Amino acid sequence: MTAFAEVSDLEVLLKTTFDGDDAEQVEALLEAASDHLRHVIGQDVFPQTQSTYTAYPTFGREDLPQWPVVSVDAVERDGVPVEFSYRPGFITVKGDDPVDVTFTWGVDEAPAELKRLSLVLAAQALSMFEVTGALSAGGLSSLSIDDFRAAFADGGSETGVALTKHAARSIRERFGRGDADVVEAYR
């Protein structure tokens, strides 16, 4: 999957440069942060993608499983085009027999809020790695080396690549579709 942010974005944010293995680590952290955000949202959102799936309409209605929908490109039954109408988020067809739906969904550019959150999550994980040598405090309540000290609330249960409950609810409401399933996209 494509990360919501790039290594250069984190370099600007942290006023540093990542080279070689460090750049690979940051790229992996940004991808992990973006994947976490997609999981919380319940769908992909970015990048814009065309997908085809087999739908099983109920009373002729099929809710499209990804958002935002850019276009419904084709609806076919046994390889033959089927007449359909599109309303925001769903199509209607005659009958309940399965149809193959090809549609384009997502956005061309990562939404600013998702980019920002992926940068924050990656920076937190990077900082945790530098302090503890791990991506999470994993049960540590504190750590001290010489004059350096770090303390973690709740045994570090909120550390690593994870959002607060409020942030998770906020992006799920803004970018998600409730209980919609994620469509596997083939590019």
> Over the stretch 120-179, which tens digit does the pLDDT of each residue have?
999 988 887 775 555 554 545 554 556 655 555 554 455 556 787 888 898 889 888 654
Range of the domain at 67: 49-105
Query: Is the domain of 140 the same as that of 157?
Result: yes
pLDDT score, position 72: 98
Residues 90 and 65 in one domain: yes
91 & 70 share domain: yes
Q: Which pLDDT belongs to residue 180?
A: 40
pLDDT for the residue numbered 148: 55
Q: Same domain, yes or no, for 39 and 118?
A: yes
User: Which 3 state secondary structure label does DSSP give 10?
Assistant: helix
Residues 89 and 39 occupy one common structural domain: no
* pLDDT tens digits, one per residue of 26-64: 999 999 999 999 999 998 999 999 999 999 999 999 999
Residues 80 and 122 in one domain: no
- How many C-beta atoms lie closer than 10 Å to residue 45's C-beta? 26
Same domain, 90 and 75: yes
Would the pLDDT of 4 be above 50?
Answer: yes
Same-domain pairing of 72 and 93: yes
| 12 & 93 share domain | no
Q: What is the pLDDT of residue 163?
A: 80
Name the pLDDT band for 119 (thresholds 50, 70, 90). very high
pLDDT recorded at residue 132: 55
Q: Could you tell me if residue 25 is left (phi over 0), alpha (psi between -120 and 50 degrees) or otherwise beta?
A: alpha
Residues 6+ apart with CB under 8 A from 154: none
Q: Which of the pair, 28 or 67, is modelled with greater confidence? A: 28
Number of domains present in the structure of the chain? 2
Residue from 29, 1, 26 nearest 110 by CA: 1
Question: Do 60 and 92 have their domain in common?
Answer: yes
Q: Are residues 13 and 27 in the same domain?
A: yes
Can you give the pLDDT at residue 137? 44
What is the reported pLDDT for 147? Answer: 60
Q: Is 89 in the same domain as 124?
A: no
Determine the residue type at 65.
Answer: P
Q: What is the value of pTM for the model shown? A: 0.75
In a domain, 127, yes or no: yes
pLDDT at 1: 73
Q: Give the least confident one: 77-81, 94-98, 138-142.
A: 138-142
Predicted local confidence at residue 28, as pLDDT:
94
What pLDDT, on a 0 to 100 scale, did the predictor assign at position 141? 52
For the chain, percent helix, then strand, then coil, each to nearest 5? 35, 25, 40
User: Is the residue at 182 inside a domain?
Assistant: no
Beta carbons of 94 and 83 less than 8 angstroms apart: yes
